[in-house]
């Protein structure tokens, strides 16, 4: 048998042993599996070393060498597809035959698909490199002798200790803590991410490695258990750490098995499978995968907390810059400051005055200091003291409100309250959402963490930690009066998700009402908060599913929201909710839509008229009256359809009997260009003309021109537009001068208008002679100049043009014709004459339906009207 076949046998044996072990993965605790896995590898190295052809030629006694396991393999924690880290260590120099040795030992491993990382170094090289680069040092901290000259391994260990660890322990620990912190920033906090990194994320295996390495450096410990013996962990904590680690290791190995490769990020695609293979089942409305992630998060959260406490308690915290010494004191006698941390002065005291439990968090928020581990333990243990009387006590409510409102840039006090279980005691309704995962690509955080993030995001608006990118939000937040209402809504907005049924917003509002009543809020405040909870999805839904460039959309929202202050809060809540949900729920595109909608609703609410309760009532009442007039069911259906066409403005301003008149006119219209109805009788000195016409650009000026041409003076008028492209105009006019032939005059006017609309009559030309006579006008009272205002601010949907001038024959034609020739369509108009003073208001858009909001355009419109107005003498 030649040597090659020997090697083949050894590596085949390894392959088979691994396959057998992996097949029986579920038969052992995961720690035992990893140990066995390491042992199988050890056997391979020992046997191939024995069988080596090159080995004997290297002269073990002249230039001793050893094969050493590093990193996870060194610790005996070899996961299914983790790298196998190996060091070939030589005493004095690396012989050229070393290449062949590596070929003999390493290549077969690659051939059977193992990932092997190896290094070939002399003792001195090894120490030099580890001294310069701590990334090389840390795997050596976990080194374990496999075969070869064992004394060499001992030399490596003592040289590492003497030449590196003993000389610069503090520096190395500081580096470890710092690089771990940076790693967390890069990989994120695994305790709530939905695709957590099992190794590198916060709460991941690296946190455990860091604790172990610090123990090795500072105390020269060999095993993790020593951390307990040295008092770094209590016995219970050691057991809990082991349990948490086992779970994370279990997930990691299962993940390797599921993907067939080394992977530490728990991607979505693997989660359902893993949850199943880890025997999670459906319960309490939670899917197995939701329970699985919830458990994983809580285990990783435990690792994270242990790691932070470990660093904190033993003074290993990495401080980027020296903290300035402040003179600070707690406002409460029974809460003291020790080493920049808060703790209770005595535990028996808590029994006597349980309010300390919230006071310590209040002080934490006020002084920006964390609680000691001991203090947190005590809060957790004494939380049972939080009962109904505690919750409703005035001073407790005040403390809670203070914590809720106080900015907490560096660390989140509410988060600590949640972690210690205190928050859930304080608001028991939160219980159903703690660690509740929503399994989709959209929600990145469990509900409870999401709620706290939303609160935090709002408090950060406008600060240097604001990552919403919303300048408008910062401005609104700065000027917001009753901030606590918004923060309450943020804290509770998803509380309805405790039950896995639809309608969490409405349910949440009800639950919220109960909580807030217990906290002693007045009805008005409760209404506002409940409103915000119930409608927290309104703006997003409308912005993405309705036409926000339609005024009615904004009016619809304005009528639901009712008050500008509510709109402001709702907008901030919407932005904070979306940004705290995850990157898929928020981007620049959605932000633009949402902001645009906010500004449009805000405009409607600021002007008021269309969105008041009164407006809603009036419009509804008119609808009822009009519907009551229906003589049959089919007529009622037709009326309902017509309501769809009527704009909110029309319904608000038009009296109900006139709406009925318009409906009659509309029925007469059919396919005619227009129909009208002249009212007033012979005696009165004014007539009302109602016109119903197919809308077309310039319609208004043609009507006005026709009147002037026939000597009919316009006193005032209003025009509205229905959504089915129908114009409804009402004019009050002076009857024609010659009363005897009034009927003929109206008929002639009607003919003229038909011609004008058909394009067969050039009104401007026909009127030219008539208007020429009035070269200038002489106001009766004061001589104010003409004033034309182009307003683009008051409405998001129309440019509003106001013309202040003096009456003269043909005025309305002149102005509206100027508007038509400037390319503008009149949607709403109000014409009023007071003695000889005229105020005309036009809501216009260009023929494409857009506002004319560039300054050039506004100036051009002003000039176009001014040029046509006569001189004032």
Partner 1 sequence: MKKIEAIIKPFKLDDVKEALNEIGIQGMTISEVKGYGRQKGHKEIYRGAEYVVDFIPKIKIEIVVDAQQADTVVEKIRDAANTGKIGDGKIFVFSVEEAIRVRTGETGNDAI
Where do contacts with partner 1 occur on this chain (CB under 8 A)?
Answer: 472, 475, 479, 544-550, 587-590, 592-593, 595-596, 599-600, 602-603, 793, 796, 848-851, 853
- Token pair 């509205």 in the structure block, residue: 720
Query: In residues, how long is the chain?
Result: 873
Asked if 510 contacts 492 with a C-beta cutoff of 8 angstroms, the reply is: no
59: left (phi over 0), alpha (psi -120 to 50) or beta: left
412: left (phi over 0), alpha (psi -120 to 50) or beta: beta
How does DSSP classify residue 92?
A: S
Which secondary-structure segment (H or E) carries 714? strand 714-722
Q: Which is nearer to partner 1, 220 or 544 (CB)?
A: 544
Structural tokens at position 362:
């209040």
Structural tokens at position 500:
């896995």
**Alpha-carbon distances, residue 139 vs 73, 94, 102, 222 (angstroms):** 9, 21, 20, 14
Round to whole Å and give the CA distance between 464 and 409: 9
Q: How far is the CB of 848 from partner 1 (least distance, A)?
A: 4
Q: Taking Cα atoms as reference points, which of 63, 111, 112 lies closest to residue 55?
A: 63
Q: Which is nearer to partner 1, 769 or 855 (CB)?
A: 855
Asked if 552 contacts 601 with a C-beta cutoff of 8 angstroms, the reply is: no
Round to whole Å and give the CA distance between 710 and 118: 104
Round to whole Å and give the CA distance between 142 and 127: 15
Count of Cβ atoms closer than 10 Å to residue 794 Cβ: 12
Q: How far is the CB of 801 from partner 1 (least distance, A)?
A: 17
Q: How far is the CB of 847 from partner 1 (least distance, A)?
A: 9
Q: Which is nearer to partner 1, 231 or 479 (CB)?
A: 479
Q: Which is nearer to partner 1, 846 or 866 (CB)?
A: 846
Q: Which is nearer to partner 1, 596 or 802 (CB)?
A: 596
CA atoms within 13 A on the CB side of 151: 5
Q: How far is the CB of 284 from partner 1 (least distance, A)?
A: 33
Q: Taking Cα atoms as reference points, which of 422, 419, 468 lies closest to residue 572?
A: 468
3 state SS for 491-509: HHCCHHHHCCCCCHHHHHH
Q: Which is nearer to partner 1, 560 or 660 (CB)?
A: 560
Give the CA-trace dihedral at 328, 334, 340, 341, to 10 degrees.
Answer: -140
Q: How far is the CB of 103 from partner 1 (least distance, A)?
A: 39
Q: Which is nearer to partner 1, 493 or 595 (CB)?
A: 595
Q: How far is the CB of 462 from partner 1 (least distance, A)?
A: 13
Q: How far is the CB of 569 from partner 1 (least distance, A)?
A: 15
Asked if 330 contacts 361 with a C-beta cutoff of 8 angstroms, the reply is: no
Q: How far is the CB of 573 from partner 1 (least distance, A)?
A: 18
Q: How far is the CB of 545 from partner 1 (least distance, A)?
A: 5
**Which residues are CB-neighbours of 484 under 8 A, at least 6 positions away?**
401, 404, 405
Q: How far is the CB of 549 from partner 1 (least distance, A)?
A: 7
What sign has the CA pseudo-torsion 228, 234, 239, 242? Answer: negative
Q: Which is nearer to partner 1, 27 or 848 (CB)?
A: 848
3 state SS for 760-823: CCCHHHHHHHHHHCCCEECCCCCCCCCEEEEECCCCCCCEEEEEEEECCCCHHHHHHHHHHHCC
CA atoms within 13 A on the CB side of 507: 12
Give φ, ψ of 684 to 5 degrees. Answer: -60, 150
At residue 104's C-alpha, the angle toward residues 103 and 105, to 5°, is 95
Q: Which is nearer to partner 1, 89 or 573 (CB)?
A: 573
Round to whole Å and give the CA distance between 729 and 829: 9
Partner residues linked to 748 by β-bridges? none
Q: Which is nearer to partner 1, 493 or 600 (CB)?
A: 600
Q: How far is the CB of 547 from partner 1 (least distance, A)?
A: 6
Q: Which is nearer to partner 1, 543 or 692 (CB)?
A: 543
Write the DSSP assignment of 13-54 as a string of letters: HHHHHHHHHHHTGGGS-HHHHHHHHHHHHHHHHHHHHHH-SS
Q: Which is nearer to partner 1, 593 or 636 (CB)?
A: 593
Q: Which is nearer to partner 1, 588 or 867 (CB)?
A: 588
Structural tokens at position 94:
């690396």
Q: Taking Cα atoms as reference points, which of 444, 446, 393, 390 lies closest to residue 418?
A: 446
Q: What value does the CA radius of gyration of the chain take, rounded to a whole number of Å?
A: 41
How does DSSP classify residue 630?
A: -
Q: How far is the CB of 830 from partner 1 (least distance, A)?
A: 23
- Token pair 């359809």 in the structure block, residue: 641
Q: Which is nearer to partner 1, 249 or 598 (CB)?
A: 598
Q: Which is nearer to partner 1, 479 or 775 (CB)?
A: 479
Q: Taking Cα atoms as reference points, which of 465, 492, 462 lies closest to residue 479?
A: 462
Q: Which is nearer to partner 1, 571 or 707 (CB)?
A: 571
Percentage helix, strand, coil for the chain under 3-state DSSP, each rounded to 5: 60, 10, 30
Q: How far is the CB of 542 from partner 1 (least distance, A)?
A: 9
What sign has the CA pseudo-torsion 706, 712, 716, 720? Answer: negative
């Amino acid at each position: 048998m030649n040597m090659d076949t020997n090697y083949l046998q050894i590596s085949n044996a390894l392959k088979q042993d691994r396959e057998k072990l992996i097949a029986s993965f579920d038969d052992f605790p995961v720690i035992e599996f990893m140990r066995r896995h390491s042992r199988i590898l050890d056997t391979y190295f020992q046997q191939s070393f024995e069988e080596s052809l090159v080995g004997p030629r290297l002269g073990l006694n002249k230039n001793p060498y050893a094969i050493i396991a590093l990193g996870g393999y060194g610790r005996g924690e070899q996961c299914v597809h983790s790298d196998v880290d190996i060091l070939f260590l030589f005493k004095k120099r690396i012989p050229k035959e070393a290449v062949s040795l590596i070929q003999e030992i390493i290549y077969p491993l690659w051939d059977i698909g193992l990932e092997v990382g190896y290094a070939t170094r002399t003792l001195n090289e090894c120490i030099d490199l580890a001294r310069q680069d701590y990334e090389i040092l840390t795997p050596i901290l976990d080194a374990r002798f496999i075969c070869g000259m064992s004394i060499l391994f001992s030399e490596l260990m003592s040289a590492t200790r003497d030449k590196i660890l003993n000389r610069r322990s503090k520096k190395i620990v500081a580096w470890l803590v710092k690089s771990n912190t940076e790693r967390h920033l890069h990989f994120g906090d695994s305790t709530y991410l939905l695709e957590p990194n099992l190794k590198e994320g916060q709460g991941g295996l690296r946190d455990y490695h860091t604790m172990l390495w610090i123990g090795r450096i500072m105390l020269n410990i060999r095993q993790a258990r020593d951390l307990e013996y040295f008092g770094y962990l209590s016995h219970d904590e050691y057991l809990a750490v082991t349990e948490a680690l086992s779970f994370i290791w279990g997930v990691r190995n299962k993940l390797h098995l599921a993907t067939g490769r080394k992977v530490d990020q728990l991607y979505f695609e693997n989660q359902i499978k893993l949850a199943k293979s880890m025997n999670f089942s459906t319960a309490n409305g939670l899917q197995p995968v939701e329970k699985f992630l919830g458990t994983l998060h809580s285990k990783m959260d435990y690792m994270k907390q242990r790691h932070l406490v470990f660093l904190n308690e033993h003074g290993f915290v990495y401080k980027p810059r020296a903290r300035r010494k402040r003179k600070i004191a707690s406002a409460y006698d029974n809460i003291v400051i020790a080493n920049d941390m808060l703790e209770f002065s005595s535990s028996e005291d808590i029994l006597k005055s349980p309010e300390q439990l919230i006071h310590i968090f209040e002080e934490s928020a006020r002084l920006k200091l964390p609680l000691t581990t001991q203090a947190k333990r005590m809060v957790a243990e004494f939380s049972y003291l939080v009962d109904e009387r505690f919750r409703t006590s005035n001073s407790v409510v005040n403390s809670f409100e203070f914590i809720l409102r106080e900015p907490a840039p560096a660390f989140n006090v509410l988060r600590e309250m949640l972690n210690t279980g205190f928050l859930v005691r304080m608001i028991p309704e939160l219980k159903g959402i703690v660690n509740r995962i929503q399994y989709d690509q959209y929600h990145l955080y469990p509900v409870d963490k999401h709620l706290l993030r939303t609160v935090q995001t709002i408090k950060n608006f406008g600060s240097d930690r604001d990552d919403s990118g919303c300048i408008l939000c910062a401005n609104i937040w700065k000027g917001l009066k009753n901030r606590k209402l918004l923060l309450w809504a943020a804290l509770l907005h998803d509380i309805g998700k405790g039950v896995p049924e639809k309608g969490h917003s409405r349910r949440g509002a009800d639950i919220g009402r109960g909580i807030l009543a217990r906290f002693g809020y007045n009805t008005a405040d409760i209404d506002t908060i409940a409103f915000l909870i119930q409608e927290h999805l309104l703006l997003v839904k409308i912005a993405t599913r309705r036409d926000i460039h339609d005024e009615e959309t904004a009016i619809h929202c304005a009528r639901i929201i009712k008050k500008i202050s509510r709109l402001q809060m709702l907008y901030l809540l919407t932005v904070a909710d979306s940004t705290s949900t995850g990157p898929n729920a928020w981007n620049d595109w959605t932000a633009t839509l949402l902001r645009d909608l906010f500004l449009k609703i805000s405009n409607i609410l600021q002007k008021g008229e269309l969105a008041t309760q009164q407006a809603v009532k009036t419009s509804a009442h008119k609808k009822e009256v009009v519907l009551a007039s229906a003589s049959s069911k089919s007529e009622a259906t037709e009326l309902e359809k017509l309501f769809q066409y009527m704009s909110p403005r029309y319904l608000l301003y038009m009296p109900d009997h006139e709406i009925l008149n318009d409906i009659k006119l509309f029925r007469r219209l059919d396919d005619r260009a227009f129909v009208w109805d002249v009212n007033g009788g012979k005696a009165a000195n004014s007539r009302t003309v109602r016109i119903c016409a197919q809308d077309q650009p310039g319609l208004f000026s043609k009507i006005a021109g026709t009147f002037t041409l026939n000597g009919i003076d316009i006193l005032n008028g209003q025009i509205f537009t229905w959504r089915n492209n129908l114009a409804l105009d009402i004019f009050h006019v002076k009857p024609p001068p010659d009363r005897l032939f009034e009927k003929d005059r109206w008929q002639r006017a009607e003919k003229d208008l038909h011609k004008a609309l058909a394009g067969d009559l050039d009104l401007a030309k026909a009127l030219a002679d008539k208007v020429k006579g009035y070269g200038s006008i002489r106001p009766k009272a004061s001589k104010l100049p003409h004033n034309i205002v182009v307003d683009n601010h008051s409405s998001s949907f129309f440019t509003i043009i106001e013309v202040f001038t003096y009456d003269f024959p043909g005025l309305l034609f002149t102005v509206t014709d100027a508007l038509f020739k400037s390319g503008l369509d009149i949607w709403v108009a109000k014409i009023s004459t007071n003695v000889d003073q005229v105020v005309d208001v036009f809501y216009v858009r260009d023929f494409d339906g857009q506002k004319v909001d560039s300054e050039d355009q506004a100036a051009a419109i002003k000039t176009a009207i001014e040029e046509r107005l006569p001189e004032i003498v």
